Copies of this chain bind each other. A is one copy, B any other.
């Protein structure tokens, strides 16, 4: 089983330095490591003393590195999309759009990176994948894709099913209406696709929610702004069901105040990482935590059926930054500029919320 480790915090040189150190840490234990970076990343090229490519290349024993490039990834995905479309479109229909001319839209980078990570993970070619992404809110949105897909799929399917087709047909009227009602669709193909998508979503949701398979470390310094941002990202990570396993505090010029950091990030363990000097990675590798031991951290969501309560772990936020809403059948937690629609167990589904109380770091919802 592969394992993915990523980092949250300001995505500057420190971030990349810590990612490389972590990759080297695993490689020294004979684990097959793939370090995944983005385009552009001159810091990584300078630190690794090599130029990065869009396909994995081994740069040291057990250590491979790849730089994700949206244009290259799009080319690969486009071929798959075309095959998939061919399954559903009649053979006479051809969209003459070449992959080479498709322009990359905002969000494509995240979707393509997610897809690339998923493939490397499933390939089983690597024991550990170190993902040196942007480490910001957009990274969380990317890692949130499985849970987002889960919700969209469930919710829009409900919405579509609740549409009264005969009403639509009436208001459109004419031959299109009667056609809609009698259309001879290939329902087996559509059903197969739905089952496949559901299976994919369920598997991905399981990976994201399992710290043994995916976990994040916060990267910070002892500067107040860096700490504040790392704390914000820590809370935000809970919203996509991502486990944060520890804090790596990079020392830039002075020794960081460890006690202060430990208070800011309790109950997480804080490791102080010395600055890299003259390409000597040894001190950094020694300062890293033992990644083989996966620390126990609070669950993002705990359901207590006896007390009829749901506890949402939201560290790093204050009361004013957390919002709870119940609209229709959905219970939504808004925090960290993200929304999480909570899937309740049958016993609590569609029950009115009797109370929502935020006491750092928990939001307690009572039914």
Q: How far is the CB of A191 from chain B (nearest CB, A)?
A: 19
What's the minimum C-beta distance from A166 to chain B, rounded to whole angstroms?
Answer: 10
Are the C-beta atoms of A101 and B175 separated by less than 8 Å? no
| B330 and A171 form a contact (CB under 8 A) | no
- Which B residues touch A39, using CB under 8 A? 137, 337
Inter-chain contact B138/A109, CB cutoff 8 Å: yes
Which one, B95, B137, B145, contacts A109 given CB within 8 A?
B137
A269 to B334, CA, bound (A): 45
Task: Judge if A180 is at the interface, Cβ distance under 8 Å.
Answer: yes
Task: Give A227's nearest chain B residue, CB to CB.
Answer: B42
Partner of A98, one of B136, B328, B336: B328
Q: Which residues of B contact A43 (CB under 8 A)?
A: 225, 229
- Say yes or no: is A338 at the interface (Cβ < 8 Å to chain B): yes
State the interface size on chain A (CB cutoff 8 A).
87
Within 8 A of B (CB), among A160-187: 162-164, 167-168, 170-180, 182-184
CA–CA, A336 and B232, complex, Å: 31
The residue on B at minimum CB distance from A98 is: B327
**A172 and B327 form a contact (CB under 8 A):** no
Q: From residue 74 to 109 of chain A, which have CB atoms closer than 8 A to chain B?
A: 90-93, 95-98, 100-109
Q: Does A251 make an interface contact (CB < 8 A)?
A: no
Tell me the bound Cα distance from A215 to B45 in angstroms.
29
For the complex, give the distance between the alpha carbons of A17 and B231 in Å.
Answer: 21
Query: In the assembled complex, how far is the CB of residue A112 from the closest CB belonging to chain B, in whole angstroms?
Result: 10
Q: Which residues of B contact A152 (CB under 8 A)?
A: 103
How far is it, in angstroms, between the C-alpha of A101 and the C-alpha of B159 when the chains are bound? 13
A303 contacts the other chain (Cβ, under 8 Å)? no
User: With an 8 A cutoff between CB atoms, is A2 at the interface?
Assistant: no
- Over the window 183-207 of chain A, the binary record of Cβ atoms lying under 8 Å from chain B Cβ atoms (1 yes, 0 no) is 1100000000000000000000000
Identify which of B11, B71, B92, B151 contacts A337 (C-beta below 8 A).
B71
**Is the C-beta of A124 less than 8 angstroms from some C-beta in chain B?**
no
Shortest CB distance A35–B (Å): 17
A365 contacts chain B at the CB level, 8 A cutoff: no
The distance in angstroms between the C-alpha atoms of A336 and B90, with both chains bound, is: 37
| Residue A118 lies at the interface, judged by CB distance under 8 Å to chain B | no
Residues of chain B within 8 A of A107, CB atoms compared: 105-108, 110-111
**Bound form: Cα–Cα A167–B90 in Å:** 9
CA distance A125 to B46 in the complex (A): 45
Whether A96 contacts B162 by the Cβ 8 Å rule is: yes
| A171 x B93 contact (CB < 8 A) | yes
A145 touches B328 (CB 8 A): no
State how many angstroms separate the Cβ of A56 from the closest Cβ of chain B: 18
> Given A93-B168, A330-B98: A337 and B69 within 8 A (CB)?
yes
Q: Does A325 contact B (CB under 8 A)?
A: yes
A32 CB–B CB distance under 8 Å: no
- CB pair A327–B106 under 8 Å, yes or no, is no
Query: Does A13 interact with chain B (Cβ within 8 Å)?
Result: yes
A39, A45, A100, A114 — which one has the most chain B CB atoms within 10 A of its CB?
A: A100
| Complex Cα gap A328–B101 (Å) | 9
Supply 23 A–B pairs (Cβ within 8 Å), ascending by A.
Answer: A10-B12, A40-B233, A42-B224, A42-B232, A70-B337, A71-B337, A90-B171, A93-B163, A96-B328, A98-B327, A101-B155, A101-B341, A103-B152, A103-B338, A103-B339, A104-B141, A104-B337, A106-B138, A106-B145, A174-B179, A174-B182, A175-B179, A177-B179
Shortest Cβ-Cβ A-B pairs, 3 listed: A107-B107, A106-B110, A42-B228
